[in-house]
Structure 1
């Protein structure tokens, strides 16, 4: 759906009037899909690990279900937000900003858990912090405001 004329989908700078999603919004969308995929994958892996631990040690299953539920829920939210970028309004932008902010807080908190647990507790929060920070920065641009407030 791209036209051959440069910037043909913009009435004036920062105000989209066409149907082409700006590049910054595409980048944020891709990051949301990446974050969602990683969260769903880690959620499934953690479910398997915690299921084995609970079965062997007879521990409480409520904690395992809570951790897995949060991971799977955040992954699903991330993917849903990414799919709503093309048609969503200001609520999608605000929800994405809140999601990215909460992920930054969770990743900073997760960095404090790195007591020799390796990549899960040091690499995971660093990657999540970087992706969430980029999503937040992209959502705070004027181009994002113009895209999500455009007439439909």
Structure 2
């Protein structure tokens, strides 16, 4: 069996010579000839990691949830400072109070509870910072942790401080909704290399 035979159907396809360029004809490139066998594969999609539906940039709702986490971090810093300075001020005033009415009024304020609230606020601050930093590279575990964070923040915003915690309530609900929706699921379940 010879592959050089022009009548062989299994042989190499013959290359056609381009027509000679004549006077008055524009220069043209010869058309590409389709080869024998299987057709060429379609181009690979340029999605994230070759997966067509995966987002390549953080969706706006997920980015908004991350910004809300940073807002909560700022509020927690203010809360830690207020609780800490308040506890120090009440402890110092109750120790040096010469007026019995002032000492009695300050005696009703539990300094230990204020210190515990400052420690809890600082721990919540660290939790929010860790979540906000992990939004870019985190997986589904970060999504679940952000959902839990948003729900607990909303509950704590209602329970002890209804008026002051209203901002925490709204931010917590929005974080949980934005991370829990389809865009959040697609972002945190995207393939990573």
Fold shared, TM-score > 0.5 on shorter chain: yes
Native 8 Å contact 1:31 1:135 kept in 2:
yes
Indicate which of 8, 11, 23 corresponds to 2:52: 11
Return the index of the structure with the highest Cα Rg.
2
- What's the counterpart of residue 76 of structure 2? 39
1:56-110 deviations in whole A, cap 9, x for unaligned?
Answer: 2256653232110101111121121011000111111111111111111111112
- What's the counterpart of residue 139 of structure 1? 179
Whether 1:71 and 2:71 are equivalent positions in the alignment is: no
CA distance, structure 2, for counterparts of residue 66 and residue 42 of structure 1: 12
| Structure with greater helix percent | 1
CA distance, structure 1, for counterparts of residue 86 and residue 111 of structure 2: 12
Runs of 4+ in 1 over 6 A off after TM superposition: none
Counterpart mapping for 1:93-108 below 5 A: 93-108=143-158
Native 8 Å contact 1:108 1:125 kept in 2:
yes
Native 8 Å contact 2:83 2:115 kept in 1:
no
Gaps of 5+ in 1: 1-7, 113-121
Native 8 Å contact 2:178 2:184 kept in 1:
yes
- What's the counterpart of residue 117 of structure 1? none
CA distance, structure 2, for counterparts of residue 24 and residue 92 of structure 1: 15
**More relative contact order, 1 or 2 (CA 8 Å, 6+ apart):** 1
CA distance, structure 1, for counterparts of residue 91 and residue 129 of structure 2: 29
The answer to which of 58-67 and 139-148 deviates more is 58-67
- Figure out how many residues of one structure are paired with residues of the other and give that number: 131
Native 8 Å contact 1:36 1:79 kept in 2:
yes
CA distance, structure 1, for counterparts of residue 174 and residue 114 of structure 2: 30
Gaps of 5+ in 2: 1-46, 96-106
